[in-house]
Structure 1
Amino acid sequence: MRGFIFRLIINAVALIVTAAIIKGMEFHGIFAPFVAAVVIGVLNAIVRPVLLVLTLPINILTLGLFTFVLNAFMLQITASVVSGFNVSGFWSAFVGAIFMTIISFVLSFFISDKGKIEYIVVKTEE
């Protein structure tokens, strides 16, 4: 449960940072990023695997780059479902999906599957 909450917070922070960077993405309200993070999580768990299977040939031809188009599509679906979250067009969603992927990856690097914060200890010999 703690891992789920950390992932939710990571996705919400990634959405907030992405909306601050990308001109065509904006949030209205305090809870909209958290609701959007939940919706993205549900879409990624249910809809995304089906879309990945259906678009497998084009994904293979583009060496996986078509996945960014699917992520942009998921972001646009989320914006249409969540009130208080707006994405102005496909290119804003596309660039936003790339930024979200990078930010979520970097933040998730420090969180284990059990929800514990990981850190690196460097030991030096004298």
Structure 2
Amino acid sequence: MRFIIEVLLSGLAIFLAALILPDSAASVDGFGWAILAGLIIAFVNATIGTVLRFFTFPLNILTLGLISFIITVLMVQLTSYLMGSRFDVANFWWAAVFAIVVAVIQMLLDGIFGAKPRD
């Protein structure tokens, strides 16, 4: 049940971020597509992102996590490419802004709905 709530909140964060940013920067066709974008971002982050983080681990330590953020931005761009016009982020810089806005919104939603500790 918690997984479904997290997916819905992630979709809401993506949907709100697309509403906050200009249409030329990021767009999503609806809440359902935002949920799908959240699932795809989570999947590519868990697969491709994990492999990239493994190989860039020493560089990630030297840059204090900046490489990890860049990998996340690249995963947002990959999701945009895979989803076509249903979820679109204009370029790398807008994907970076989008990732930051989504992170802030998810933090706020987590504070509002409260994250239960997992047993």
Range class of TM-score, shorter chain: 0.7 to 0.9
Give the superposition deviation at 1:29: 3.7
* TM-score between the two structures when normalised by the length of structure 2: 0.84
Q: Which has the larger radius of gyration?
A: 1
For the aligned residue pairs, the C-alpha RMSD in angstroms reads: 1.7
Aligned-partner Cα distance in 2 for 1:49–1:6: 24
Match of 1:118 in 2: none
Pick from 102, 116, 119: which aligns with 1:112?
116
Aligned-residue sequence identity (percent) comes to 31
Aligned residues: 113
Aligned-partner Cα distance in 2 for 1:30–1:61: 38
* TM-score between the two structures when normalised by the length of structure 1: 0.80
Match of 1:40 in 2: 41
Q: 1:76 is paired with a residue of what secondary structure?
A: helix
Aligned-partner Cα distance in 2 for 1:18–1:49: 24
Q: Give the unaligned 5+ runs of structure 2.
A: none
Aligned-partner Cα distance in 1 for 2:69–2:21: 16
Q: In 2, are the aligned partners of 1:27 and 1:86 still within 8 Å (CA)?
A: yes
- Indicate the structure whose relative CO is greater, using CA pairs within 8 Å and at least 6 residues apart: 1
Aligned-partner Cα distance in 2 for 1:102–1:93: 14
